[in-house]
Amino acid sequence: MDRKIKKYERFLRTLLTNYVAERATRKDSTYQLVIDNKNHHLQVIRNGWDDDRLIHHFIFHFEIKSDGKIWIWVNKTDMDLGQELRLKGIPNSDIVLGFHPPYLRELSDYAVN
Protein backbone atom coordinates (compact mmCIF):
# COMPACT_ATOMS: atom_id res chain seq x y z
CA MET A 1 0.00 0.00 0.00
CA ASP A 2 2.84 2.41 0.79
CA ARG A 3 4.17 2.15 -2.78
CA LYS A 4 0.76 3.01 -4.16
CA ILE A 5 0.38 6.00 -1.81
CA LYS A 6 3.86 7.28 -2.72
CA LYS A 7 3.09 6.88 -6.44
CA TYR A 8 -0.15 8.83 -6.08
CA GLU A 9 1.58 11.51 -4.00
CA ARG A 10 4.25 11.96 -6.69
CA PHE A 11 1.65 12.38 -9.40
CA LEU A 12 -0.42 14.87 -7.37
CA ARG A 13 2.69 16.82 -6.35
CA THR A 14 3.68 17.17 -10.02
CA LEU A 15 0.17 18.13 -11.11
CA LEU A 16 -0.15 20.80 -8.40
CA THR A 17 3.42 22.10 -8.76
CA ASN A 18 2.77 22.68 -12.47
CA TYR A 19 -0.54 24.39 -11.71
CA VAL A 20 1.15 26.77 -9.25
CA ALA A 21 4.10 27.44 -11.61
CA GLU A 22 1.73 28.43 -14.44
CA ARG A 23 0.26 31.11 -12.18
CA ALA A 24 3.49 32.44 -10.68
CA THR A 25 3.40 35.68 -12.68
CA ARG A 26 0.13 36.96 -11.25
CA LYS A 27 0.58 40.27 -9.48
CA ASP A 28 -2.65 40.34 -7.48
CA SER A 29 -2.15 37.06 -5.64
CA THR A 30 0.10 34.08 -5.07
CA TYR A 31 -0.63 30.40 -5.35
CA GLN A 32 0.91 28.24 -2.65
CA LEU A 33 1.32 24.49 -2.62
CA VAL A 34 0.84 23.04 0.87
CA ILE A 35 1.77 19.40 1.46
CA ASP A 36 1.35 17.38 4.64
CA ASN A 37 3.46 14.30 3.95
CA LYS A 38 2.60 12.60 7.22
CA ASN A 39 -1.17 12.69 6.68
CA HIS A 40 -1.08 12.71 2.85
CA HIS A 41 -2.88 16.00 2.21
CA LEU A 42 -2.03 18.20 -0.78
CA GLN A 43 -3.57 21.64 -1.24
CA VAL A 44 -3.23 24.74 -3.37
CA ILE A 45 -4.19 28.01 -1.72
CA ARG A 46 -4.57 31.39 -3.38
CA ASN A 47 -3.61 34.43 -1.26
CA GLY A 48 -3.47 38.14 -1.99
CA TRP A 49 -5.47 41.32 -2.28
CA ASP A 50 -7.92 42.72 -4.80
CA ASP A 51 -7.81 46.42 -3.87
CA ASP A 52 -9.07 46.31 -0.27
CA ARG A 53 -10.57 42.81 -0.48
CA LEU A 54 -8.62 39.84 0.90
CA ILE A 55 -8.20 36.84 -1.39
CA HIS A 56 -7.68 33.62 0.56
CA HIS A 57 -9.21 30.37 -0.59
CA PHE A 58 -8.48 26.79 -1.50
CA ILE A 59 -8.17 25.90 -5.16
CA PHE A 60 -7.49 22.18 -4.61
CA HIS A 61 -7.48 19.81 -1.65
CA PHE A 62 -6.59 16.14 -2.05
CA GLU A 63 -6.25 13.50 0.62
CA ILE A 64 -4.79 10.04 0.09
CA LYS A 65 -6.34 7.74 2.67
CA SER A 66 -4.57 4.74 4.20
CA ASP A 67 -6.50 2.41 1.84
CA GLY A 68 -4.82 4.18 -1.11
CA LYS A 69 -7.87 6.04 -2.33
CA ILE A 70 -7.51 9.64 -3.49
CA TRP A 71 -10.22 11.87 -2.05
CA ILE A 72 -10.84 15.07 -3.97
CA TRP A 73 -12.21 17.45 -1.34
CA VAL A 74 -11.95 20.74 -3.25
CA ASN A 75 -11.68 21.58 -6.94
CA LYS A 76 -12.36 25.25 -7.70
CA THR A 77 -11.37 24.94 -11.36
CA ASP A 78 -12.88 23.60 -14.53
CA MET A 79 -10.28 20.81 -14.65
CA ASP A 80 -11.72 17.29 -14.77
CA LEU A 81 -9.50 15.90 -12.03
CA GLY A 82 -10.96 12.42 -12.35
CA GLN A 83 -9.93 12.37 -16.00
CA GLU A 84 -6.44 13.68 -15.12
CA LEU A 85 -6.04 10.89 -12.57
CA ARG A 86 -7.34 8.22 -14.95
CA LEU A 87 -4.90 9.35 -17.66
CA LYS A 88 -2.10 8.56 -15.19
CA GLY A 89 -3.41 5.03 -14.74
CA ILE A 90 -5.27 5.57 -11.47
CA PRO A 91 -8.38 3.37 -11.51
CA ASN A 92 -11.85 4.83 -10.90
CA SER A 93 -12.09 2.60 -7.81
CA ASP A 94 -9.25 4.65 -6.21
CA ILE A 95 -10.88 8.06 -6.82
CA VAL A 96 -13.51 9.53 -4.49
CA LEU A 97 -15.30 12.81 -5.22
CA GLY A 98 -15.38 13.89 -1.58
CA PHE A 99 -16.98 17.24 -2.42
CA HIS A 100 -20.21 15.36 -3.27
CA PRO A 101 -22.40 13.72 -0.63
CA PRO A 102 -22.39 9.88 -0.67
CA TYR A 103 -25.78 9.60 -2.41
CA LEU A 104 -24.42 11.59 -5.38
CA ARG A 105 -21.13 9.68 -5.42
CA GLU A 106 -23.15 6.53 -6.04
CA LEU A 107 -24.22 8.02 -9.38
CA SER A 108 -20.64 8.61 -10.55
CA ASP A 109 -18.17 6.21 -12.12
CA TYR A 110 -15.90 6.64 -9.10
CA ALA A 111 -15.68 5.10 -5.64
CA VAL A 112 -18.26 6.08 -3.02
CA ASN A 113 -15.91 5.70 -0.03
Write the pLDDT tens digit of every residue in 26-38: 788 899 999 999 9
Its pTM stands at 0.92
Confidence of residue 40 (pLDDT cuts 50, 70, 90): very high
Confidence of residue 50 (pLDDT cuts 50, 70, 90): confident
Write the pLDDT tens digit of every residue in 52-74: 999 999 999 999 999 999 999 99
d(CA 62, CA 37): 12
Nearest to 61 by CA among 92, 98, 11, 113: 98
